[in-house]
Amino acid sequence: MKGDIFTGEWEAIKKLDCDVEMAATGMGFCGIQGNPYPYRAHRESARQALNLANARITSNAYDLVVLDEINNAIHLKLVDLEQATRLIRNKPPLPHLVLTGRDAAPEIICLADTVSEVKEIAHAYRKEIEPQPGIDY
């Protein structure tokens, strides 16, 4: 979902004292912030990202795989719910799999071992306030 735009995750990974691989996928926020790509291009990019995730999950090389914003991608129909649930069902015992993003589908929630929700009450972005170092990232 985020594509290659700068986000706080890039800075956080630099501070970790362990092996971390971050694969920036997607083409940016679909349909907002002046994103120029058509829906079909976003969908194809999401399909490729899911294939990459599946390769990482089944490689036996990772302890943890995080699919950041995949719940949003499913909600926007960039990723088919069936593809995502199949990926979860076919996952080996390791790695641990974390799915993030708003609007998790009930089918995803039913497959999860743990579900947490962070609910936005207000957000500086809605007031056109740019992200602040130390606050947002």
Residue 28 scores a pLDDT above 70: no
Residue 64 scores a pLDDT above 90: yes
Q: Give the span between the Cα atoms of 30 and 7, in whole angstroms.
A: 16
At 90 the pLDDT is 95
Q: How confident is the model at residue 135 (pLDDT cuts 50, 70, 90)?
A: confident
Of residues 80 and 23, more confidently modeled: 80
| Six token digits for residue 23 | 């694969």
Q: How confident is the model at residue 45 (pLDDT cuts 50, 70, 90)?
A: confident
At 11 the pLDDT is 81
**What is the average pLDDT across 3-7?**
63
Question: Which residues fall within 8 angstroms of residue 47, CB to CB, at 6 or more apart?
Answer: 79, 83
Single out the residue of 33, 39, 123 nearest to residue 76, CA to CA. 39
| Six token digits for residue 98 | 């974390």
What is the residue extent of each domain of the chain?
8-118
At 35 the pLDDT is 58
The answer to which of 31-40, 54-63, 88-97 has the lowest mean pLDDT is 31-40
Of residues 80 and 42, more confidently modeled: 80
CATH of domain 8-118: 3.40.50.300
Q: Give the span between the Cα atoms of 132 and 18, in whole angstroms.
A: 26
The answer to which of 20-24, 36-40, 49-53, 56-60 has the lowest mean pLDDT is 36-40
